[in-house]
A and B are shown apart, each in its own frame.
Chain A
Amino acid sequence: NAGVMQNPRHLVRRRGQEARLRCSPVKGHSHVYWYRQLPEEGLKFMVYLQKENIIDESGMPKERFSAEFPKEGPSILRIQQVVRGDSAAYFCASSSGQVGTGELFFGEGSRLTVL
């Protein structure tokens, strides 16, 4: 079974450009989570989505950041007008959502560098 697939693995953008990060969850998983990690730090929750719905976006900055998980296709984390402070590793995770199963399956991350 393929795990969580994220692309691109590395992305370089100049200030003011847009960054789009993609995440394909484990086959059959309908719950997707996005996290952000700065060097030597833990993961900061950003957003939790189910197919076509945002369930919890309490960790998402109010401006410039958006996320979607359409009925067909991967989940997308979009960062508009990037700034240097957006440089980080962005991790996507998925779960089946079945009661009693609590673990998240993580992708290898997308590392964004803003010049």
Chain B
Amino acid sequence: SQQGEEDPQALSIQEGENATMNCSYKTSINNLQWYRQNSGRGLVHLILIRSNEREKHSGRLRVTLDTSKKSSSLLITASRAADTASYFCATRGAGGTSYGKLIFGQGTILTVHP
């Protein structure tokens, strides 16, 4: 079964607001990653957080990881219309190599209104 489950499935906000997306997973992980997909395009890597890290920042992105709850969140601050896309979390299982398969969640569709 799919490793990651995300919520909400869809999120609609106004420009300038913050957007928070959550991801839960089932088994032990080596790392968790977030990707973005614009409609009709491929996925683009946003940020990676390792299992021994709790928080990571990259520009307007903030990712947290709680391995005890098997969950992660992605926060996009001061959202822009250009942030409109689908966002996916993906996990790489523990015990494998750092380059084993990634298992993706179902994604959150974010719409940012101008």
User: Which residues of A come within 8 Å of B, CB atoms?
Assistant: 4, 31, 33, 35, 41-45, 48, 55-56, 59, 91, 93, 95-109
Q: Is B107 a contact partner of A42 (Cβ separation < 8 A)?
A: yes
When the two chains form their complex, are residues A95 and B99 in contact, meaning their CB atoms are under 8 A apart?
A: yes
Of A35, A91, A103, the residue contacting B45 (CB under 8 A) is: A103
| Chain B, residue nearest A105 (CB) | B45
Q: Which of A48, A96, A105 contacts B101 (CB 8 A)?
A: A48
Given known pairs A97-B99, A102-B99, the reply for A35 and B42 (CB within 8 Å) is: no
Asked if B85 CB lies within 8 Å of chain A CBs, one says no
| A residues near B41, Cβ cutoff 8 Å | 108-109
**CB-defined contacts of B105 to chain A, threshold 8 Å:** 42
Interface residues on B, range: 20 to 34
The reply to whether A106 and B42 contact each other, CB–CB distance below 8 Å, is: yes
| Inter-subunit contact A91/B31 (CB<8 Å) | no
Complex Cα distance A105/B46, Å? 11
Specify which of B92, B99, B102 lies most central, judged by the most chain A CB atoms within 10 Å of its CB.
B99
- Closest B residue to A108 by CB, please name it: B42
> Of A33, A42, A93, A105, which one neighbours B88 at CB under 8 angstroms?
A42
Q: Which residues of B contact A4 (CB under 8 A)?
A: 42
The answer to whether A102 and B98 have CB atoms under 8 Å apart is yes
B100 contact set on A, CB distance < 8 A: 48, 55-56
Decide if B44 is an interface residue (CB 8 Å cutoff).
yes
Neighbouring B residues of A31 by C-beta, 8 Å: 99
Of B45, B48, B88, the contact of A43 (CB 8 Å cutoff): B88
> Distance (Å) between the CB of A40 and the closest chain B CB?
8
From 13 to 58 in chain B, residues with beta carbon under 8 angstroms from any chain A beta carbon are 30-31, 33, 35, 41-45, 48
Q: Report the minimal beta-carbon distance from A70 to chain B, rounded to whole angstroms.
A: 20
